[in-house]
Amino acid sequence: MKLDFDIDKFSGNYLLKFNVDQFKSDIDHKMAITIVTCVSLDYDLDPELEVEDMQDILDKTLELGKEEFTFEIGEDGIEVDI
């Protein structure tokens, strides 16, 4: 799975940008969840994501006509930006 991994130079938050074309099966959803979980552990966070949650994010992204969504992970928690 390809994704864009960046660190915001002002906040220090991690930015994980996923493209919707990377998701073809439940295995891809699980891989994305594993990546988000691994990065979240740096801040002692547990995203508690399930495959259904990732599918909901993907569906909302497509509904809005977007091609990517971003997880922002930092001291204040985890946010999803579409």
Structure tokens at 64: 């809005």
Give the ranges where 1-50 is alpha helix by DSSP (H).
Answer: 26-40
Q: What is the pTM of this model?
A: 0.93
Q: What is the pLDDT of residue 66?
A: 98
Domains contained in the chain, number: 1
Write down the residue that tokens 């906040």 correspond to: 11
Vertex 18: Cα angle to 81 and 75 (nearest 5): 50
Which helix (DSSP H) or strand (DSSP E) does residue 51 occupy?
Answer: helix 51-63
Return the DSSP state at 67. S
Domain of 41? Answer: 3-81
Q: What is the pLDDT of residue 59?
A: 97
Q: What is the pLDDT of residue 60?
A: 98
Write down the residue that tokens 């949650």 correspond to: 53
Summarised one tens digit per residue, pLDDT across range 8-63 is 999 999 999 999 999 999 999 999 999 999 999 999 999 999 999 999 999 999 99
Q: What is the pLDDT of residue 78?
A: 98
